[in-house]
Amino acid sequence: MYRQEASATLPQVHPRAPILDVKGVSLRFGGVRALSDVLLHVDQDELVAVIGPNGAGKTSLLNSLAGFYHPQDGDITLFGNSILGMAPHRIAKAGMARTFQGIHVLSTLSVIENIMLGCGFNARGTLAKSFLYHLFGSREEVALRAKAEEIADFLDLGLVRHQPVETLGYGLRKRVDLGRALALEPKILLVDEPMAGMNGEEKEDLARFLVDIRELWKIPIVMVEHDMSVVMDLADRIYVLNFGQVLASGTPAEIQTNQDVINAYLGGSYTAGGAA
């Protein structure tokens, strides 16, 4: 089976540590401070939302967690072990999967092939098909395909499983990207603006899948999202980033009534009980 072996990368597990712990992380790009002393943690079974204005540092934070950016200060631990400075493929192998802001699928490959590529960290463009064959061979490919079929069914992609992704609408393509992340069998999932560009029905579907991923599959989720109805409905706790700093954190009820958050971000666009 292709199940990821986190123990190969992170030998010790500290049972009382949060699953993910961000300890005073700062990230600079030249003179731009993208993140300043960010503190954040995620416990088992939590869906934690990260919100804030454009340019607040939300994607930079996810990129830092996933090893795409390397913060200059602070530490990030996964199951109590530092992952700071580790390469993205090693962090993925340790159990952290992510979806990207925008579309991140190989459009000429089928739904199933894209989901299978969730385990192929280095797959590229037209080489992807031969890559799949050489990487997984026959027995592994059968097991991987079965898992991909299971994920496609879970995400209601069964009817389009053999269609090239380029023939699908935006919402379904985003769902394929989620399937690709789930193919890693992650222990924590990061999603960057999963609802962006979706219509109401697609958002409802995706919200249901995220709830199921957390509740049935027991995978905690960090979600960056601008749609406040979705955030307030789904999140157990929320962190608000502003100019790279954590402006506030708390339950949806606490965040909705926090005057600093209302001034910096929510304004009149969201009031308790529904989005305007």
Ligand X SMILES: Nc1ncnc2c1ncn2[C@@H]1O[C@H](COP(=O)(O)OP(=O)(O)OP(=O)(O)O)[C@@H](O)[C@H]1O
Does 72 bind ligand X (CB under 6 A)? Our answer is no
The tokens 């609408």 sit on which residue? 169
| Residue 138 is a binding residue for ligand X (CB under 6 A) | no
Task: Report CA-CA distances (Å) from 138 to 110, 134, 135, 147, 155.
Answer: 18, 9, 9, 14, 25
How far, in Å, CA of 171 to CA of 197, rounded? Answer: 8
Q: 27 and 72 in contact (C-beta within 8 Å)? A: yes
> Should residue 98 be labelled a site residue for ligand X when binding is judged by CB under 6 A?
no
Spatial neighbors of 95 by CB under 8 A, at least 6 apart, are 4, 6, 78, 79, 184, 186, 187, 188
Q: Give whichever of 101 and 229 is closer to Mg ion, judged by the CB atom.
A: 101
Residue 88, interface with ligand X (CB under 6 A)?
no
Decide whether 11 or 29 has the Cβ nearer to ligand X.
29
**Please, what is the minimum distance in Å from the beta carbon of residue 247 to ligand X?**
12
Shortest gap between Cβ of 266 and Mg ion (angstroms)? 18
In the complex with ligand X, the residue whose CB is nearer, 70 or 208, is 70
Interface characters, 46-65, with ligand X (x: CB under 6 A): ------x-xxxxxxx-----
Tell me the closest approach of the beta carbon of residue 15 to ligand X, in angstroms.
Answer: 32
Q: Binding string to ligand X for residues 100 to 119, with x set by CB under 6 A, is what?
A: -x------------------
Q: How far is the CB of 59 from Mg ion (least distance, A)?
A: 3
26 binds, among Mg ion, ligand X, none (CB under 5 to 8 A by kind): none
- Segment 85 to 114, residues that bind Mg ion, using CB under 5 A: 101
CB of 113 to Mg ion, least distance (A): 28
Do residues 35 and 64 make contact, with C-beta atoms less than 8 angstroms apart? yes
Least separation in angstroms between CB 241 and Mg ion:
10
242 touching ligand X, by CB under 6 A: no
Q: For tokens 């603006």, name the residue.
A: 193
Asked if 105 and 176 touch (Cβ cutoff 8 Å), the reply is: yes
**Structure tokens of 9?**
């990368």
Which tokens is 225 given? 């999202």
Residues 51-90 contacting Mg ion, CB under 5 A: 58-59
Pairing state between β 245-250 and 73-78: unpaired
